Structure 1
């Protein structure tokens, strides 16, 4: 989500540079010099099935070469440096990537702060499935040049042959099917989620995936996984809600005001260990750009003037759906809807929007239970 905005910002910067006669030397200076890794916090748009086009018709058109440089540095380089460090640590900790008892070797291509990618990590962590991470550069995206699917997350699954799973919800449904099903291979399971290609109103090809919220099980397996009537339908409903509504509340809230946008990028600069000039552009220009983008998202999704109210209402709707008698939507343990909502919300951790959500909604107890269940890998067989 954040990375899609960063990619758009970076591309706008490059286009402005080129259109204004930017030199080759300038372009080389602005290109990232190290791979993308790490844990920074910044937010934008995009996700499992949508690529951001936020800057089409942007008010910054024709802003000149300096503005192009500013966007490229502030939007792209900030996140670039931030996410560098912790993924290196993750690789060191994940030398063995065989999923315990599953025979799968998993590699996740992601943007660290993308809510859709966070959903997949929540699922993998809860089920105790070891995996390697490849952090994708959201501007250049060289890491996923091997794939025709130019979005994240992408999960490569080595199950005798290498299979590519696209779309966060497909990844989760397919892996859940594999973990439960007694007679299906991963190759068979992937075939249950065909890609449906069509063209949107602008004539551009878009890809959606059929059955992406379905866990493909036998009748007996369905009864074992969903012993409560209508629990399967409920899980699918709220998984879809997380993708279609909840994710769109993140960026407008973390960039709600200039101060909050600046605080988000201040975190990026501190964690990224920038030099003076780099830090200035990343913090101030990047924050200003993302504040404006947040306003555009607010208008696009018809949010209230105070976007916090939409976030509070959505989160309280989720808690009300769980009810007072259940610890999780899945009852005594999280189901796929719990993991999806948790994965989306946790990308705000450390920011004012997250603290406000905890203070002004009833989500805290559930969230803390989810955090514990995920950290302890309580879904591991």
Structure 2
């Protein structure tokens, strides 16, 4: 049993206790208090800050409170049993990736930014533990001043924030033969500011750059223009493509329900708790999706924006390349794939595959990440040449 699983068990116990507290708070609160619990979903920033308030009657509030109490109690019971078994069977062993890194990813499974990081880790064959964060209470990351996901912990003491910084740092580390991860991370300083809506935001300088020597840069980008193209489309995935996901997966009430049905199945919900999470969460995100459509100036039929974006991406790759990186995916391929992948199993994904030219590229990306082709490519490049 990995030590990551033990950490997850302890965090699950904390979540169970939190559910009990939330249940008591809901039962004692006014109806409007409940709405704030559903302002987090897997669409835009994965911060929990985007949302809309909507009314619930007192009866619904009390039922939801009971659901939290029941779910928390059952969760604590099962967690206690599981923790006892793990304490007696566990060995002090964590997954170790190439070059000795122990990696733990704190995530929401349906978050596109987290999916980007997983795509990178899987493609390069890097072993990592996952801690699924409860999007309501976020107890699993209460130790962190940075309250967004993904967070990647390296060797349990070095914290990497922001999906793009995580990927750039790890790629720099894998290509470089000399630099330490802590030294590389220092090249991406935090910049705190307040955006036009009065919200405090944290940005990172240089986050689309790799911190490499001239020789390593030539190795990573052997052809002119490759680095500039990769950076352009990585930023495009963050600044545009990702904002098309929520308006499309929550486009109608039916699609919103289907999306939250998936979230509930993949999450850790009891039967009553999951019922309320699905229907109340779906209603909230349907409203939020409409606001996002207006904020990002999307068409009334948001599918058309999605189709155009995906076809623009395929056109940029062209007919002569398998990937934007050529014969192998580059960081832009992995970013776009990670964002689009969160729609799998939903109507928006099926429509995209049927109405755009992305299918062949997408299937190649599925194979590349599943088979850890980046790890195999690196091993091949490091083989000594024949005399």
TM norm structure 2: 0.77
Contact 2:64–2:273 (Cα < 8 Å) also in 1: no
3-state SS of paired residue (2:342): helix
Aligned to 1:370: 365
Deviates more, 1:216-225 or 1:125-134: 216-225
1:263 and 2:258 correspond: yes
Following superposition, the deviation at residue 313 of structure 1 comes to: 0.3
Following superposition, the deviation at residue 317 of structure 1 comes to: 0.3
Taking the aligned partners of 1:184 and 1:195, their CA distance within structure 2 comes to 20
Taking the aligned partners of 2:368 and 2:110, their CA distance within structure 1 comes to 21
Contact 1:153–1:168 (Cα < 8 Å) also in 2: yes
3-state SS of paired residue (1:379): helix
After superposition, residues 209-248 of structure 1 pair within 5 angstroms as 209-248=204-243
Distance 1:274 1:190, change over 3 A: closer
Contact 2:109–2:132 (Cα < 8 Å) also in 1: yes
1:20 and 2:30 correspond: yes
Contact 1:239–1:337 (Cα < 8 Å) also in 2: yes
Please say which structure displays the higher CA radius of gyration: 2
Contact 1:97–1:130 (Cα < 8 Å) also in 2: yes
How many residues align? The count is 337
Gaps of 5+ in 2: 1-18, 379-387
Taking the aligned partners of 2:147 and 2:154, their CA distance within structure 1 comes to 17
Taking the aligned partners of 1:103 and 1:189, their CA distance within structure 2 comes to 16
Following superposition, the deviation at residue 278 of structure 1 comes to: 4.0
Decide which of 177, 187, 207 is 1:192's aligned counterpart: 187
1:295 and 2:290 correspond: yes
Aligned to 2:168: 173
Following superposition, the deviation at residue 321 of structure 1 comes to: 0.3
What are the Cα deviations for residues 121-154 of structure 1, in whole angstroms up to 9, with x where unaligned? 0000000000011111111111112211111111
Aligned to 2:43: 44
What are the Cα deviations for residues 273-323 of structure 1, in whole angstroms up to 9, with x where unaligned? 976644543333332222222112111111111110000000000000000
Taking the aligned partners of 1:21 and 1:284, their CA distance within structure 2 comes to 16
Distance 1:266 1:137, change over 3 A: closer
1:118 and 2:115 correspond: yes
Greater percentage in helix: 2
Decide which of 283, 306, 330 is 1:335's aligned counterpart: 330
Aligned to 2:11: none
Distance 1:274 1:124, change over 3 A: closer
Aligned to 1:36: none
Aligned to 1:108: 105
Greater RCO (Cα-Cα under 8 Å, separation 6 or more): 1
Taking the aligned partners of 2:242 and 2:298, their CA distance within structure 1 comes to 13
Distance 1:71 1:360, change over 3 A: farther
Contact 1:174–1:215 (Cα < 8 Å) also in 2: yes
What are the Cα deviations for residues 236-291 of structure 1, in whole angstroms up to 9, with x where unaligned? 00000001111111111111111212222344455669766445433333322222
Distance 1:190 1:287, change over 3 A: same
Gaps of 5+ in 1: 1-9, 32-41
Taking the aligned partners of 1:134 and 1:351, their CA distance within structure 2 comes to 24
3-state SS of paired residue (1:242): helix
